[in-house]
Structure formats: C-alpha cells, structure tokens
Amino acid sequence: MIKDLQLRITIQEEKQPDILVKKSAEWLGISENKITGVKVLRKSIDARKKLIVFNYKIAVYINEPLPESSEYSFDYKDVSNEKPIHIIGFGPAGMYAALRCIELGFKPIVLERGKNVQDRRRDLKAINQDHIVNEDSNYCFGEGGAGTYSDGKLYTRSLKRGDVRRIFENLVFHGATDQILVDAHPHIGTNKLPKVVQNIRETILKHGGEIHFETRVTDFITKENKIIAIQLQNGTELEANRVILATGHSARDIFYLLHKKKIALEAKSFAMGVRVEHPQSIIDSIQYSCSGERDDLLPAAAYSIVEQVNERGVYSFCMCPGGFIVPAATAHGEVVVNGMSPSKRNNQFANSGIVVEINVDKDLYKYEKFGVLKALEYQKDLERLAFTSGGRTQVAPAQRLTDFVEGKLSMDLNPTSYQPGLKSAPLHSLLPKFIGGRLRTGFKAFGEKMKGYYTAEANIVGVESRTSSPVSIPRNEHLEHPQITGLFPCGEGGGYAGGIVSAAMDGERCAEAAIIGL
C-alpha cells in the first residue's frame, strides 16, 4: 500500500470513470492493472482560482486487497445490572457520555427534558407555523439536542481534545454516510440526523442503559459538598453520586439553579449578531467565479470570513449553504434565529450567522449587577428586543443588507427561507451600538473581500444569539466541579465544546472521569 498520495483532479477529469486509478498509475509510473484498489482518505475543493480542482489524499493498494472493515470497533456490553452514572441531557455530549459508559461497563441513566426525535417534530411545526414555543421541546431541547435539527456540521478545530476519527466512525456505525470520513468539511444534514440519533438511542437501550424523556431536573441534593440525589420536576428524587451535566448552552434554568445554590459559575465571553441570507446563486458565483449555474459536481458553495473591527472580531458562524433559517427560541417572549442545511444542500438560499465578539469583562459594564449571569441577561435582553420589534410572535425583525449598513429602514424585504416570516425593522438602530456599528463596518469589509456579497438582494435577520454558552461551569483537572464532588460539567453548556464533534468528545472524557473510584 502507498498511503497519502496527493492528487489534483479537474472537474472534467472528475467525470471520467476510474480517474483515481488512472492518475495514481501515471504518478507511480506503473500499469493500471497492478492497482487493486484506491481508498480515498480526504477530499476537498480548491476554488481559489478560476480553474477549480478536487484535491484527493488517497491510499493506493498494489497487488493486495482493499481492507473490508474499519480499524475502529465498538464493544458495547450488557450493563443492565452495573453501577449507574446519571447523565442530564441527551445532546451530543450526553449521547456519547452514555455510549462510553456502556463500553466501560457502567449503566448510563439519561434524563432528558425534551421529547424523542419523532415527537419533537410536532413542536417544531408549532413554533414555525403557530408561533408556539414549547420550553422543553424545540430546536434546542429534545433527543439529540440542538444538533439534531440544526444542520449536522461536523467540522471541528478541537483536534487535541480526543479522537475525532473515532467520533466520525461511530456516527457511521450508527447510520451516517461514510462520506463524512473523507470530506474536508463533513456534514450529515438535518434530514439525516434524526435516524442516526434514533440508532444511538437504540444502542443504549439494547445494552441496558436507560433514557427518560420529558424528565426535567429541577434540583441537586448535596451533602457535605457531595451530590447525593437529583430532584425531578414531578417531585421524584433519584439517588445519584455521579452526575454528568450535559444540558447544552440554552438550559438557563440550570444556570439559575446552580447560582441560587451558590454553586460556582463564571461569566463567559461569547458572540452575538445577526443571520445574513443570500440567494445561493450569488455565493456560488463568488466562490466558483461562475456567471451561470454551477457544475453538478460542485456542492453549494460555502464561505468563511472574518474582520477585526475596533478590537473585536466580526466573523461568519455556522454557515449553511443551500439551507434555511429556523426559529431557535426556547421560551415565550424571545426571537432567536439559527441556520441549518439538508444533506443535499439544495435549498435556494445560503445563510450564515455574522457575529461580533463580546468581551464579558469589558463590554457589559451596564450588566455588572447580574454578576456571573451578566452575559446571560444581556443575551436575553437582545432576544426580547427581537421579539418586540418583530411583532411579538416568532416573526423576526429583518432588513436588507445594504439598508442596514446605510442606516435606513427597508421598504420591502427579499424572499426568505425563514418560515415564521420577516418584518422590516431598523436593526441598524435597534442593535446596541458596539454590535451594530461593528457589523456595519464588517459587512462593508466583507463586500471588498467577496465581490458581490454586499448586495441589496441579501437580508439580515435578528438575532443570532446562541453561538455558545454565556456562562461556564468550572471544573478541575479531573473534569469535576471544584466545589461539588460527583458533578461533571460537560459539553457546550459547561463551556467546554462548540459543536457536535467537540461536545461528543467531551462527553466521552467526562464518562471516563466519572467512573473513577466507583
């Protein structure tokens, strides 16, 4: 086998059958019939120049068979009668904490405030069509967490936090496409994720774990700074001495509970802004330098962009090519927007969060009275502002991009993918100056970097506020809360992850830490 061979393939070459075998044989100077197989290790697109090419990293097998199975295996054993580990939350962190517990011979007992993936659909329909927000079942809460119905992008920079490949292989084991093992920016798709999540649930139940939906935790019972029980909303108390807290970045009731009980929290810097939506054809024309329709071999184009404005970063976040904008509120009286894409990324719009860094120590001086919850309260105020300016439903305030930058109300708005609808609003004056002013400067700079990006054909929609948790829950080198023995803050809600993969890896690490000494 010759591993890590690098090839560059043009679009026309890509359309030829067996092109990888042919190119490999040419590069190696051997006959094609000596090559018994080619395995793609990595694939990406280079569209920086007018000649678009596919970059391949491959392994070439010469006179030897291709391996039939993955080098990864997952040994799930029956843990029905083993010692329990309680896990609060069944998003990526909670799911992978539960799977890892089973591998290690411990019984996960998962408590999830929301519903399973099938039943969540009714509540998503209610928020989109009827503007009714179920505070326990929505785009953020329920089986699979925010990731289930929020795109399924798997790109992560957290390469030192765990075995990224192991998470990808496990997703494939549970039904995800094996394309995620090779794509430079892997993506499952909001239409495919629910089945993967359901398969993970079935693995956990099949091997003796427990998952309790519509089960909200309302209190932690401690004795001598050790966790001894969990109290549920229905008044039930469950004995527990190891609790992995994986409730996600939007479980505000948990932050308030910990603060009330004087369990240490920390204010955390995060980012807020808006979501910008362009016709996908505009982004394609910019990224692929094409004037007409893109070639069928090319995916809907994405972008990543950043600009420093007055000592703060203004940058794209959760860019969704061929996607749509969704309402991500978790309570009545707030409007929050997020983005997602189906697996084929074939929607006519492209959207991305465009957000401004908020330094919790320098930018929120008016909120100091809230102490460690100051960033949370600031976040809530902007979401309430979006609610009132949108008309006190899930209709979102919006503005044409050029009108926002020029500081004038839009007389009309562009078509949108946001199902609850848009209402023209003066976001240029409604947003706090240190966010709105930086966004306006940032959009101008983006237009210089990406010719055609700054256009009246784009809408901006408010507000993009749930980029990450505004609160962190401290933990020590053993991943345990420094005050409360047996409590393991985990994933995005604790401030230790920023997406599906990093949350999953953190869930595994917390499971490994929680079993020590049991």
**How is 398-466 classified by DSSP, letter by letter?**
EEEHHHHHHT---SS----S-TT-EEE--HHHHS-HHHHHHHHHHHHHHHHHSTT-S-TT-EEEEEE--
Angle between helices 92-103 and 500-514 (to 10 degrees): 40
| Helices (H), ranges, 271-373 | 280-288
> To the nearest whole number, what is the mean pLDDT of the chain?
95
Span 200-210, pLDDT tens digits:
999 999 999 99
Collect all residues with Cβ–Cβ distance below 8 Å to 320 and sequence separation of at least 6: 151, 339, 340, 341, 350, 351, 352
Span 136-164, pLDDT tens digits:
999 999 999 988 876 667 876 655 667 89
Mean pLDDT of 392-410: 98
pTM score of the predicted model = 0.95
Contact 61, 38 (CB under 8 A): yes
Q: What is the DSSP letter of 103?
A: H
Instruction: Name residue, tokens 């956990």.
Output: 204
Name which residue leads in pLDDT, 88 or 71: 88
Collect all residues with Cβ–Cβ distance below 8 Å to 377 and sequence separation of at least 6: 367, 370
Q: Which domains does the chain have, with CATH numbers?
A: 2-62 (3.30.70.2700), 84-264+483-514 (3.50.50.60), 267-464 (no CATH)
pLDDT of residue 481: 98
Sign (positive or negative) of CA dihedral 159, 161, 166, 172: negative
Contact 394, 420 (CB under 8 A): yes
pLDDT of residue 272: 97
Nearest to 89 by CA among 256, 258, 248: 248
φ and ψ of 368, to 5 deg: -60, -30
Residue 375: both structure tokens together: 């960033």
Give the range among 65-79, 253-267, 268-282, 497-511 with minimum mean pLDDT: 65-79
Distances (CA, A) of 475 to 462, 481, 496, 516: 34, 4, 10, 16
pLDDT of 102 over the 90 cut? yes
Mean pLDDT of 180-186: 92
Mean pLDDT of 152-180: 84
Q: What is the DSSP letter of 229?
A: E
Span 340-364, pLDDT tens digits:
999 999 999 999 999 999 999 999 9
Q: In the Cβ-directed half-sphere of 131, how many Cα atoms lie within 13 Å?
A: 14
Q: What is the DSSP letter of 128?
A: I
pLDDT of residue 67: 86
Give the range among 279-293, 379-393, 499-513 with minimum mean pLDDT: 279-293
Contact 319, 352 (CB under 8 A): yes
Span 322-345, pLDDT tens digits:
999 999 999 999 999 999 999 999
Give the range among 133-137, 159-163, 236-240, 461-465 with minimum mean pLDDT: 159-163
Cα 284 to Cα 460: distance, rounded to the nearest angstrom: 19
Span 474-508, pLDDT tens digits:
999 999 999 999 999 999 999 999 889 999 999 99
